Amino acid sequence: MNVRFSLLRVGLTGTLLVVLAAILGPIFAPYGPHEIDITRELMSPEMAGGLGTGVNGIDVFSWLLHGARVSLLVGFSVVGIGLTVGLGVGLIAGYFGGWFDTVLMRIIDVLLAFPGILLAIYIAAILPPSLGNVILALSVTGWVGYARLVRGQVLTVREREYVQASRALGAGPLWIIRKHLVPNILGPVLVHVSFGLGGAILGEAALSFLGLGVAPGTPSWGALLDEGAQYLLVAPHLAIAPGVAIAVAVLSFNCLGDGLRDYLDSRRT
């Protein structure tokens, strides 16, 4: 039990730090994201202080704080779209079944035949770089996992005695979905949401690293990592700083998901 709660605490602490960095970071950042100083270009942390400087003398620490807002915006947007679509589609397919369920599962099988990141790369490659297009590219397949999870949970819950009793007493589908199905599937869905946040942040960083993400000049951890890879032998801090930021954010959300899953399982037992 202590290990379970420790994992949950680690995830909550890391998630809180990332969220605070996104909300308050740009306010307390020592420099703006577009402030340059050619005389301080590619200076190490020992010479420039903080986390050092990057190309054109940008402050790496300030860039990371501003980039946290972009990463979280992408993460919450992709998860929000995927959850909304997947929850609605999964509830309808799982409860009513029939031809809609059959068609849905075939569509999901087709989408799962392609790795999600490769499909996102293809979509981002044919669209101009922008934050909205990154969200769109990651959302195309982002709903599939939620739809499968919700459908599977609904197939189990709808056969339970209290659902059958409500149906026998004349309760309509909307009432049963709202009162019985949704509350009983929220636990696994919340766990999936926490994992989805980490995956979306990692996906945005991957697209930006490949030059297919946000527009040039937009603060992004992936874009900074791309620049750092070009100067890895000259200024390794330029790649290490965003790499650590991405790792901490993804690890925090994954720990939060693992902790929630263990906590919910312990509550059931």
Instruction: State the chain's mean pLDDT as an integer.
Output: 87
pLDDT at 4: 59
What pLDDT digit, counting tens, does each position of 225-255 carry? 988 888 888 889 999 999 999 999 999 999 9
- Domains in the chain (CATH in brackets) are 2-268 (1.10.3720.10)
Q: Would you place residue 81 in the very low, low, confident or very high pLDDT band (cuts 50, 70, 90)?
A: very high
Percent with pLDDT over 70 in the chain? 96
Give the pLDDT mean for 6-30.
Answer: 88
Name the pTM for this structure: 0.88
CB 225 within 8 A of CB 243: yes
pLDDT at 95: 87
CB 214 within 8 A of CB 224: no
pLDDT at 200: 92
Max distance between CA atoms of the chain, in angstroms, equals 77
What pLDDT digit, counting tens, does each position of 195-214 carry? 999 999 999 999 988 888 88
Q: Would you place residue 110 in the very low, low, confident or very high pLDDT band (cuts 50, 70, 90)?
A: confident
